[in-house]
Chains A and B, each alone.
Chain A
Amino acid sequence: MPANSELTHMTEDILKASIRGERLAQKEFYNFFKGKMFVVCLRYAKNREDAEDMLQEGFIKVFQDLHQYAGAGSLEGWVRKVIVNVALQHLKKQQRLLPTVEFDNLEISDNTDQELPHLDEPIAKNLIHILHQMPDGFRTVFNLYVMEGYTHIEIAEILGISVSTSKTQYLRAKAYMRKMLAKSLTT
C-alpha cells in the first residue's frame, strides 16, 4: 500500500485523465477503487452476481458524472455515494425494497438451510454471508444506518418509508445479525 500522499497524487492525475475519458486512466481509477466498492455492493446485494451488476452500473455512473466531483472533499466518499445510490436504484428497480418479510419468518432453526458463517474466514466475509440471507429491506436499512451513518429520518426519505419502519427494520436486522453470529459459534 503506497503512502497516503502518493495515493492522493496518483488519484489526482488519474482523476483528470479519467474525466477526459482516457480509458487507461479509467482502468487505473477502477483498479484503485474496485476492492472497496465491490464490498459496498456485496453488502447491498443479494448475491455476488447482483453485486457485480451493481458495481458495473456504479462505475458507468461514476465515469459519467466524474466531472461533477468538486475536488474539495473525499473522492472515495464521493465514489462510494454514487455506488450506494446506484445500488439503491438497482434494488428499487427490482422492487425488492417494498415488501419486507416478518421477522418471525426469519427465526433460525436447526433445520434451516441458511448458510452459517465460516470461522476460518475474515469476519467481514462472514458478515456479508449473513447480510445476503437477510431480506432486502432489512439489509438496506442496516447498511444505510450502520455503514453509511444516515439517520432514520434520512433513511425514511431515501427509501420512501416511514421513520418507524426504518427503526423497526434496523432493530430486526440487528437482532437477526446477532442471532446468526451466535448460532455460528454454537454450531
Chain B
Amino acid sequence: MIEEHTPKDNLDDFIRRSFERYEEDPSPAFWDNLNDKLPNQPATGMALIHRFGWQIAAATVILILSSTLIAGYLHFTNKVNTLIAGQVELKEQLLNNKPIVSDQPSTPSLPRSNSRSPVQFHQNNPSYVIVDQREGIPPTLLIENQVNAISANSVNVEVSPDIKPQVEDAVAPLAYLPKWNILSSQFQPGTIVAKVMSPIQPVSKQGWYSGVHSTVSIMSEKLKKPGPDDNDNHHGPRRVVSSQSKLNHIVADYWVKAGKQIAPHLAFETGVGYQQFDRIAEHQPELKIRDGERVHGHGGPGGPSHGGHDEYDFNYTLNSYAGSMDINLRMSQVDTTAMYPDDQPLDLNLTTKEHVKTLRIPLLLATHTGKGRLKFAIKGGLIANVFLQNELEVTGISSGGNRFKRSDPDEPVAQKESTQRYGLDFVLAAGAEYRLNNKLSVLAEPTFSASLALQNNNLAPAPSYQTAGINIGLNYRF
C-alpha cells in the first residue's frame, strides 16, 4: 500500500498528501476535561471591542448623534409650543390695551444670557419688542412688527432665551443678538417698545446651503497577507494573492455639496465628489516552485527544479485597491545548473501602478452646536463610490536572489480580470464652521473614513482601507 503511493523522488509531497484528508479524534472524554479547564466567564468587553472594533465605534457615534438630536428636538419643540401660547395671549392683550394679568401662566421670563434660542430677526424690517416691566409679573418681551419705533433714547437689555420667533423670515440665531436697544416708550404705562438690532442679514427660511469642499487625506491600506499554505486563498483554479505591504498615500477629493436644515440642530447633506490618484504599490506573492507549471525542462509539472533551462508558468490573481487582475508570468532559472526543491520560494516582487478615478456620492447627517459666528458640527454617514476608471499595470518584476527571471521581459503579464465598479465607505467628521457674513461661511473638518467592502469581485477578502484627513470648504446660504 505504501509503495504504491510513495513517489521515489518526492517524499515530502507524499507525506503532505497523506495527511491532507486524514483526521483522528482524541479520546471521548477529552471534551469533558477541556470543558473543566475553560474559563466560565464569557468573552470580555475588550475582546468584543477587538473583534467588532469599528462597528462598535460607528454604532456608538450614530447612537450618540441620534439621541442628542432627538432629545434636542423634543426639548425645543416643547419649549416653543409653550412660548407660542404665552406670547400670542400677551400680544393680544397689549395691542388691545387690555391690562395684563399679573399671574400670566405662560409668560416667558427675561432675561438670560448665553441664549441659544432660535429667535431670529430681519434687519431690514426691524422687529420691535414690548417689554412689560410692571410689578407683579416677570419682565416680559413681546415681539411685534406692527409697532413703530418712537425715540432714540435707548437702553441695553439682554434677550430672553425663551422668546418665540414672530418674524418668520429671519434665521439669525439668538446668540447673534446679545444686546437689544430699548427705545423709550409712548405705550401704556408699564410697557417699553424696543427695536431689534440684528447684526445678521436674514437667511433663507428654507435653510438651504451649498458649498465647494476639498478633502486631503492619507489613505492607508491594510492588505491580507497569505500564509505559506493558506489554501483558503484558492478560489477556483487560480491562486489569489493580495499585497503584503501596508501602504500610505495621499488622496484628494473635490466636492460640490448641498445641504438643508431639517431641524434646529440637524442638517442633511449630500452632493457629488471626485477623487483621482495614482497609486504605486509593491506586491510580494508568496509563490513557490510547486505553484508553477513547468513548461520546459526536466520532470513533471510542479516538481522540483532539476537544473537546465527550466521554465515555469505562474498564474495567479492579484487583489488590489479597486479590483483584481490576472497575472501570468513565465519565469526561467537564471542559474541553469542550480537545483531547487519544489518548495523553493520565488521571492517575487511586483510593482504595480494604479490610476483610479472615482465618483463619490455622500449621504450625511450633521448636527450643529455653538453660538455667534462660530459653530461646531459633527457629521456622519455613507459615501457611495462609483469607480469611473481603474487602470492597473505591472511596471516591474524582480526575483529575490536572482534565481529566476522573466523568460520574455516584453511579454504582457497583466490582464484586467474584474474591476470593482462600486464601493461603500462610512465617514465621520467633526469640525467648525465660521460665518464670514450672512451668506458665506468657511469650514474645516477633520474626517475619518473606512471601506465597508468585505469581498471583492472574486469573493476574496477585499483589501480594506482607511483615510484620515481634513475637509475644508466654503458654504453659501441661500
Contacts and interface: CB of A to CB of B under 8 A. Distances in A.
B50 A67 contact: yes
Most buried by B among A67, A68, A181, A184: A67
Interface string A122-147: 11111100000000000000000111
Nearest to B49: A67
B51 A39 contact: no
Given A126-B2, A151-B345, A181-B2, A67 B43 contact: yes
Nearest to A119: B1
A73 B231 CA distance: 10
A60 B229 contact: no
A107 interface: no
A20 B42 CA distance: 5
A147 B18 CA distance: 11
A56 B343 contact: no
B11 interface: yes
Nearest to B12: A146
A103 to B, nearest CB: 16
A30 B48 contact: no
B3 interface: yes
Interface residues of B, number: 46
B43 A76 contact: no
A60 B50 contact: no
B9 to A, nearest CB: 11
Contact of A185 (B3, B33, B224): B3
B38 A26 contact: yes
Contacts of A74: 227, 230-233
A178 interface: yes
Given A146-B15, A177-B11, A30 B31 contact: yes
B43 A52 contact: no
B19 A147 contact: yes
Contacts of A22: 42
Contact of B51 (A19, A35, A126, A181): A19
B461 interface: yes
B25 interface: yes
Contact of A34 (B26, B42, B288, B345): B26
Interface in B37-71: 37-39, 41-43, 47-48, 50-51
Interface residues of A, number: 56
Contacts of A146: 12, 15-16
B23 A60 contact: no
A115 to B, nearest CB: 15
A39 B23 contact: yes
B2 A73 contact: no
B37 A56 contact: yes
B26 A38 contact: yes
B19 A68 contact: no
A117 B11 contact: no
Most buried by A among B19, B31, B224: B19
Contacts of A36: 23
Given A39-B23, A52-B30, A77 B227 contact: yes
Contacts of B228: 148-150
A184 B191 CA distance: 116
A180 B287 CA distance: 32
A120 B1 CA distance: 8
A79 interface: no
Most buried by A among B24, B37, B50, B233: B24
B462 to A, nearest CB: 9
A4 to B, nearest CB: 10
Given A60-B34, A72-B224, A149-B228, A67 B47 contact: yes
A109 B78 CA distance: 96
B27 interface: yes
A38 B230 contact: no
A59 interface: yes
Interface string A67-89: 11100111011000100000000
Interface in B263-277: none
Interface of A: 19-23, 26-27, 30-31, 34-36, 38-39, 42-43, 51-52, 55-56, 59-60, 63-64, 66-69, 72-74, 76-77, 81, 117, 119-120, 122-127, 145-151, 174, 177-178, 181, 184-185
22 contacts: A21-B39, A27-B35, A30-B34, A52-B26, A60-B34, A60-B37, A63-B38, A67-B43, A67-B47, A68-B51, A73-B230, A73-B461, A74-B233, A77-B230, A123-B2, A125-B22, A147-B16, A148-B228, A149-B228, A149-B343, A174-B12, A185-B3
Q: Which 8 A-B pairs have the closest CB atoms?
A: A35-B23, A21-B42, A149-B228, A74-B232, A124-B22, A67-B47, A72-B461, A67-B51
Interface of B: 1-3, 5-6, 11-12, 15-16, 18-19, 22-27, 30-31, 33-35, 37-39, 41-43, 47-48, 50-51, 224, 226-233, 288, 343, 345, 461, 464
